[in-house]
Structure 1
Amino acid sequence: MDTQAELQERDRSSAPDPGPGERSRSSRVRDRAAALVSGRLSWRGALALGAVCAVFVFLFSSFVVQPFLIPSGSMENTLRVGDRVLVNKLAYRFGSEPHRGDVVVFDGTGSFVPEGATENPVGALLHGAAASLGLAEPAETDFVKRVVGVGGDRVVCCDVRGRTEVNGRPLDEDYLFPGDASSTVPFDIVVPDGTLWMMGDHRSRSRDSRDHLGEPGGGVVPVDRVIGRVDWYGWPLGRLGPLPGTAAFDSVPAAGPAHG
Structure 2
Amino acid sequence: MADTKKAEGVQQKKKKGGFRETLLLLALGVAIALVLQQFAVGSFYIPSESMQNTLEINDRVFVNKLAGKPERGDIVVFKGWNGDDTIKRVIGVGGDKVVCCDSKRRITVNGTPLDESSYLYPGDYPSGEEFKVTVPPGKLWLMGDHRSASADSRSHMAEPGKGFISEDAVVGKAVMRYWPLGRGLIFTRPDTFDKVK
- Measured against the shorter chain, the TM-score band is 0.7 to 0.9
Paired AA for residue 164 in structure 1 = I
Query: Aligned AA for 2:31?
Result: V
- 1:115-134 equivalences under 5 Å are none
Matched, 1:251 2:192: no
Residue in 1 that maps onto 2:42: 66
**Residue in structure 1 matching 2:90, options 147, 152, 155:** 147
Shift of 1:52: 3.2
Alpha-carbon displacement from aligned partner over 1:181-226 (angstroms, at most 9, x marks no partner) = 1011111110001100000001011100000001011110111111
CA–CA separation in structure 2 for the residues paired with 1:187 and 1:180: 17
Query: Aligned equivalents of 2:47 and 2:187: distance in 1?
Result: 17
SS in 1 for 2:132: strand
* Structure 1 residue aligned with 2:145: 201
Q: State the TM-score, normalizing by the size of structure 2.
A: 0.85
1:77 is aligned to 2:53: yes
Q: Which runs of 4+ in 1 moved over 2 A?
A: 44-55
Is residue 113 from structure 1 mapped to residue 82 from structure 2 by the alignment?
yes
2:140 is aligned with 1:168: no
Q: Shift of the alpha carbon at 1:53?
A: 2.7
The counterpart of 1:223, out of the listed 167, 171, 188, is 167
**Structure 2 residue aligned with 1:103:** 75
Query: Which residue identity does 2:72 align to in structure 1?
Result: R
Q: Is 1:156 equivalent to 2:128 in the alignment?
A: no
Higher-helix-fraction structure: 1
Q: Distance in 1 between matches of 2:153 and 2:194?
A: 22
What per-residue deviation string (whole Å, max 9, x for no partner) do you get for residues 91-110 of structure 1? Answer: 11xxxx211101111112xx
| Structure 1 residue 233: Cα displacement | 1.7
Greater C-alpha Rg = 1
1:89 maps to 65
The letter for the 2-side match of 1:252 is: V
Matched, 1:190 2:134: yes
| Separation (CA, whole Å) in 2 of partners of 1:69 and 1:46 | 32
2:105 corresponds to which letter in structure 1? Answer: G
Instruction: Give percent identity, aligned residues only.
Output: 50
| Structure 2, unpaired ranges of 5+ | 1-10
Q: Which stretches in structure 1 are left out of the alignment for 5+ residues?
A: 1-33, 115-140, 254-260
1:181 pairs with 2:125: yes
